[in-house]
Every structure is written in structure tokens, then in C-alpha cells.
Structure 1
């Protein structure tokens, strides 16, 4: 199964498709970053027909593809460089059983090549462009492997899982005691969700949307930019509120308990790790903060230490 992502190089979006944990970069998009869109197919054809390119592709396939047809490759290699020699990606794949490069149609259509081959192609377009592509790709990999980013994703998934526990409690213990029509029952769920939003973020979902119209248009919600600690607290509050609902507590009493719990837990969590208190404004938020100067990190640590009350000295008798 494949997944798709995008990297932006010199203002142009370049698609990446991941198959069996291997990244394949769209050569068609890479050409668009340097040439006219209509020339992409010709540029790729001219590149793949050269002796040096075929030599590189042959070596790559020999290393990573046990089913590579070496005899067919040798035939192509012997003809490469002749005025009459032509080559296309589809012909290369069909004749040699290659796996390093392929073409596909659809939303993310185009010619894709394994990252090793794509970087080689980038060098053929322009050495400088190759470096831009390589640097942006490395940045994306750094974001993917960042421990804070990974933890944020886990917390986001956990809060979504607990969301279902929360909605089930509303469905079973609040909805039956109201006279809302089927079409308006969603208001009960939104009302309880906003109870948690008010406790944690000090605003409702609508208030956040009104204050962040562009993020709302991008499909984001208030939790998508929450800090790691806020997601942890939201997960805890969803579980706690579901229990309070089952126990029949009023909304006023639940708000008071949830508010006190959130305040206490937030103070504890925020003292442990400064970076986990930062809202995820962009994909690189956590990496950018980690790269701050040691002096800044040291000052933040001191702030956390000062917030911890010191034990009182015993009076001399």
C-alpha cells in the first residue's frame, strides 16, 4: 500500500509516494520546477536514453532488484548513444522488469523514481536544484523521525480514540433525557465538546474558527495545533467527563471538577518539558524549537525550576 506526501522546492510542489517504506519522487514535478510543464515528458525521455543514465539505472537495479533482466539491459546499453536509439520509462520497465522508476496516472500521476534515482535526475537538471531537492527531502525526513512529532501524533490518535468514549457517554446518558429531535442531537455533542474546549483552550470551537479563518478553510480545528501537553490533557478530560456524565453530575459540577483537574495536571506536565508546552503551529515547530540556542533552552529550564516551590526551612528551636 502506498501513501502520498508533498515537498515544496523553489515554490513548486513535488509529490512523493511511499511504497513498502521506499520513497519515490515525482520526476515530472521536478521538471516543472525548472522547465515548462509541457516539456516534462521530453526532458525525462532525453535523460533516460543517455548512456550514463542507463548505466546508473542498471547498477541500481542490479543491487536492489533480484528479478532485473541483465541481458536486456546489456542490449540497451550497447545501443545507447546511437542517433537512432530511443527509450521511454514504460519500455525500460517492460523490457528489464525494473522497479526503480515507473509512471502512473491519476491525482498524483507522473513519472516517479526511487529517491536515489530522483536525486541523480535532479543533478542532470541542475546541480543547484539537486541540492535544493535533497535538502528539502532531508528536512521532511527529520520532521517524520522527530520524537516530539511522533509523540504529538500518538497523543492526537489517543485523543481521537477517547473522543468515541466521550460521545458514547453522551449518547447513553444525556441524549435520552432530552427532547431534541434527531436532526438537532448533534448540538448536545457539540455542547459537551465545547465544555472541554472551554476548560482547556478557554474558547469554543466557533470562537476559534472565527479567530483563525484561514486555518479553518484549510480543514484544521482547534486540536490540530494543540501542544503535546494539551492533547494529553484533552484525552484525560474526555475520559474523566465520560465518567462524570455516567455518574449523573450536572454540567456546572462537571465544569468545576474538569477545570480543577486540568489546572493541576497542566502545571505538573508543563514543568517537565518546555517543548511539550508549545503549540504545533507548523510541521517543523518542534524541530525549530529544539534548534534554539543552548542559552535559550537553559533559560527555559530555569523558568521551569523557579516555578517549583522550594521546601520551607525549619526554624531553629
Structure 2
């Protein structure tokens, strides 16, 4: 993943990365977690029964390959003190597409924006509101940039059409002696 595709925005003094995955925005939960007070882990959020149910519903709407059998097993254990599951385990067992753990330069845990907004509520209601607001601002800025790029491209195309039309229709391939003499006369007058 190139750095050009990774975008960042700030929520309550926390820098959060956004990466595109199959034309969808995935937001870094790892970055968001820095805004939560204390030592918490994404697995703490994932062990909550309401979280697991929400993830299962989201996957059932968006993922035709979701493994419902494994999901039911995980859901039955969610909320128990002994229950723990990592993002990698969740994805592997359920074939989930809404969450992903990435290694490397832009590594961390990422979630589809719908799920990231829900994670924002776990951090705090205030954080969720600002997360949505700042994400929308980022998307509006992207749209404005896209509009500018389109206008620039259209201007470039129009310029080429106009210059080609002038070359092909207004400028003769060969000039007569009279045209050359007239051009020279005009040139001398202007430069002299």
C-alpha cells in the first residue's frame, strides 16, 4: 500500500489513518485506541457480546461468504470472562471482511467505516461524534479535489481541441507569395 493512498485526519488531537480497500474506506482502530484513557486493547471491544452481534449483523448484510456456524459459536462465548478473540482469529474463523489486521509499514487493525464508527462509540460518545464529523470533512475535501482535477482535465482537452481545430481549419498548409509578403509587412511594422 503506497503512502499516497493512506490519508489521515484528526479527531480530538488523535491522528487517524484511512486506507482504501476495494473502493471502501477502512479506518485504523489502532490509531483510534490512542484516544481512550488507560490500557485497553481492541480485543477488549471484541469480547463484548453487543459488539459481536453488531459485527455479525454487519457481515450478514455485506458479506455473502460469512461463516455463520463459527459466528454462532463465537456469539455464544462472547461476554464471558474467559472469552478472548483477536481480530485475526475473528477474520479467519468467520471469513469476515469488515475488520482486518495488517502487518508492516501501515500496519495495525483497520475496520470498515461503519464498524469504525461503532468502535468510536466504545471509546466515547463524544469521540464518535467528532470521528463522524471529521471523516465527513475528509470525504468532502476529497470530492472538492476530484472536482478540481476534472475541471483541469477538461480544460486540457478543450485546449487541445481548439489548437487542433485552428491548425487543421484556419492555418493553410502552404502560404502564397502574397500571404508571405503581407505577413512580413505586418511583422516589420510591429517590430519596428
TM range (shorter): 0.7 to 0.9
User: What's 2:131 paired with?
Assistant: 133
User: What's 2:107 paired with?
Assistant: 109
Gaps of at least 5 residues in structure 1 are 163-231, 244-317
Match of 2:14 among 12, 19, 23: 12
User: What's 1:71 paired with?
Assistant: 69
What secondary structure, in the 3-state scheme, does the structure 1 residue paired with 2:79 have? coil
Q: Aligned partners of 1:68, 1:93: CA distance in 2, in Å?
A: 10
Larger relative contact order (Cα-Cα within 8 Å, sequence gap ≥ 6)? 2
Whether 2:17 is the aligned partner of 1:21: answer no
Q: Larger strand proportion, structure 1 or 2?
A: 2
Task: Spell out the pairing of 1:122-201 with structure 2 (5 A cutoff).
Answer: 122-146=120-144, 149-154=145-150
CA contact (8 A) 2:16 2:32 kept: yes
Q: Aligned partners of 2:12, 2:154: CA distance in 1, in Å?
A: 36
Q: Aligned partners of 1:28, 1:97: CA distance in 2, in Å?
A: 21
Q: Aligned partners of 1:48, 1:156: CA distance in 2, in Å?
A: 46
Count, aligned residues: 161
Gaps of at least 5 residues in structure 2 are 168-192
CA contact (8 A) 2:35 2:123 kept: no
Match of 1:97 among 95, 98, 102: 95
Q: Aligned partners of 1:90, 1:140: CA distance in 2, in Å?
A: 28
Give the TM-score normalised by structure 1. Answer: 0.46
Give the aligned CA root-mean-square deviation in angstroms. Answer: 2.6
Give the TM-score normalised by structure 2. Answer: 0.74
What secondary structure, in the 3-state scheme, does the structure 1 residue paired with 2:6 have? strand
User: What's 1:58 paired with?
Assistant: 56
Q: Aligned partners of 1:158, 1:15: CA distance in 2, in Å?
A: 32
Q: CA deviation at 1:81?
A: 1.7
Q: CA deviation at 1:153?
A: 2.0
Specify whether residues 158 and 35 from structure 1 end up closer, same or farther in structure 2 by C-alpha distance, changes over 3 A only.
Answer: farther
